[in-house]
Amino acid sequence: MGDYKKRLRALQIELVELQRRAIAHGWKTLVIFEGRDSSGKDGTIKRLTEHTSPRETRIVALGKPTEREVTQWYFERYAPHLPAAQEFVFFNRSWYNRAGVERVMGFCSDAEYEEFMETVPTFERMLTRSGIRLVKYYLDITEDEQRKRLEARHEDPLKQWKISPIDEVALKHWKDYSRARDAMFERTSIPESPWLVVNANDKKLARLNVIADLLHRIDPKHVRRAPDPAIVFPYEPAALADGRIAR
């Protein structure tokens, strides 16, 4: 525990220094977190943001779309939350809901899904061309680890707010989510915004390495600690076959 806290503090200090440079240079930074239920998105974002400037840092975790939002262009409800100059924005789930939970649970039509998968690369290229530094993380856990974490939620009175109807069927649809994830990786990991896979079975190692990786990607000139490539690595098809991504 002591070593973890020491390493975390050192990385968070680097993150504060990075944000000072981002503010000085007017950088626009958008970080997307996706992953299965209980993969550790909340905890990772908490460690990333707990010492950053509240004025220039925003966490976006949108709920179910309203009746009006359902009629909008799909990306429209996300656009107001994109970063302006000097801002760090963290999406705790994002427009990729359509490629994951909406696809698996039947919350969108096949046509809506195909439209999303075809257009999201263009949308993200537009974002990066506009000057947004876009980083996409997928927190990956095994089926056994997800089962343990979902069971722990029911036993911990402080985690009751995390329980949802979607959780109840997450394990039942494990293979469906795997297929949806694989299709998402294949069709939406592009040079301008590649998917970065995080081996998140160990929460603490995942948090430390995500911070180190983000520092490296946003401002590599000032990086003092390289992330572990066994914990955070760019998606490639071979990772689905060699066991680096949970099946």
77-115 burial, b if ≥16 CB within 10 A, otherwise e?
beeeebbeebbbbbbbbbbbbbbbbbbbeeebeeeebee
The whole-chain average pLDDT of the chain stands at 95
Separation of alpha carbons 247 and 146, rounded Å = 12
172 pLDDT exceeds 60? Answer: yes
Q: Which two tokens stand for residue 18?
A: 């990075």
* Residue 142, Cβ density class (10 Å: 0-12 exposed, 13-18 middle, ≥19 buried): middle
Q: Give tens-digit pLDDT for 32-57.
A: 999 999 999 999 999 999 999 999 99
What percentage of the chain exceeds 70 in pLDDT? Answer: 100
CATH architecture for residues 2-241:
3-Layer(aba) Sandwich (3.40)
Q: What is the domain partition of the chain in residue ranges?
A: 2-241
Residue 166: what pLDDT?
75
Contact call for residues 100 and 181 (beta carbons, < 8 A): yes
Say if strands 232-234 and 195-199 run parallel, antiparallel, or are unpaired: antiparallel
Average pLDDT score over residue span 222-242: 95
pLDDT band of 211, cuts 50, 70, 90: very high
Average pLDDT score over residue span 156-174: 81
Instruction: Pick left, alpha or beta for residue 57 (phi over 0 → left; psi -120 to 50 → alpha; otherwise beta).
Output: beta
Separation of alpha carbons 194 and 135, rounded Å = 8
Single-letter code of the amino acid located at 36: R
Q: Which two tokens stand for residue 212?
A: 């180190």
Residue 37: what pLDDT?
95
164 pLDDT exceeds 80? Answer: no
Residue 1: what pLDDT?
52
